[in-house]
Amino acid sequence: MEIKRVGIIGAGQMGNGIAHVFALAGYDILLNDVSKEALEAAPGIIADNMDRQVARGKITEEERDRAIGRIELAPEIASLGPTDLIVEAATEREELKHKIFASIQPYLADHTILTSNTSSISITRLASGTDRPERFMGLHFMNPVPIMQLVELIRGIATDEPTYNVMTGVVTRIGKTYSSAEDFPAFIVNRILVPMINEAVYTLYEGVGTVASIDTSMKLGANHPMGPLELGDFIGLDTCLAIMNVLHEGLADTKYRPCPLLVKYVEAGWLGRKTQRGFYDYRSGTPVPTR
């Protein structure tokens, strides 16, 4: 089947980015969010990000204008039903994702493929709550979506081969590279990345190093573009904790136990850049270590 119209559920940072790359690739987009404010802000955010691409010579003004014209706001989730592909990009909470898929199910066309941008939750479990587990996949984009090249494609136990083949074509058309991952907790990238961040938090918790010394050591000693604590702030410490909990519960291995200090930061509401405080304080405009 050919994908022409794409419904995106969630107009936050990830949903905006996904709408951005799909629209540039020529897909017609219906963008939905439960928050009226987030939905109304989305076109301006996407336009600003495309303007930066124009300034860097990545796209032309004509390509930007055509892409923006392909994005339609859809306050009612039911209006996404007839699309060819649904991409769910809501908060990383399994209960919420099940509710979203249940709410849109009565309106879906028979051919519609369902996908989730989940970074860690079982695709098989999410698919089992729908009427089409064979046409359900994980479609995990990296943040920031317009810049990062990789998309993880995750098949649930029931995902059929035609659905997988359609989605490899979609990922290729939007100019990304796909890696195929099996449906185990946190898939590939976060199975490796987030425990490293958690271990960096343990290194801070145990007094082995400060925020600055840990990040400097990994940037200069391992050639990482960002230190692990800086990266945790960028991802969101609540998201990091959620992924560690999925790993700990799903694999029952103590090496995935979330660091108590990570838990405390989340309890304090210090979630990183999005709240202006995490392992760094961003309120002054210059990141200052908080420990």
CB distance 82 to 109 below 8 Å: yes
Could you confirm whether 61 is annotated as catalytic? no
CB distance 138 to 123 below 8 Å: yes
Choose, from 32, 117, 190, 198, the residue flagged as catalytic. Answer: 190
Spatial separation of the C-alpha atoms in residues 266 and 274, rounded to whole Å = 12
Could you confirm whether 190 is annotated as catalytic? yes
Write out the two tokens for 40: 């109304």
Tell me, what amino acid is at 147?
A: I
Spatial separation of the C-alpha atoms in residues 24 and 36, rounded to whole Å = 24
Could you confirm whether 128 is annotated as catalytic? no
Tell me, what amino acid is at 221?
A: G
Gyration radius from the chain CA atoms:
19
Choose, from 32, 119, 122, 198, the residue flagged as catalytic. Answer: 119
Grouping H, G, I as helix, E, B as strand and the rest as coil, residue 280 is strand
Could you confirm whether 223 is annotated as catalytic? no
Tell me, what amino acid is at 288?
A: V
151 phi, psi to nearest 5 deg: -130, 125
Torsion of CA 129, 134, 136, 141, to 10 degrees: 140
Choose, from 16, 20, 88, 152, the residue flagged as catalytic. Answer: 152
Residues assigned a catalytic role: 119, 140, 152, 190
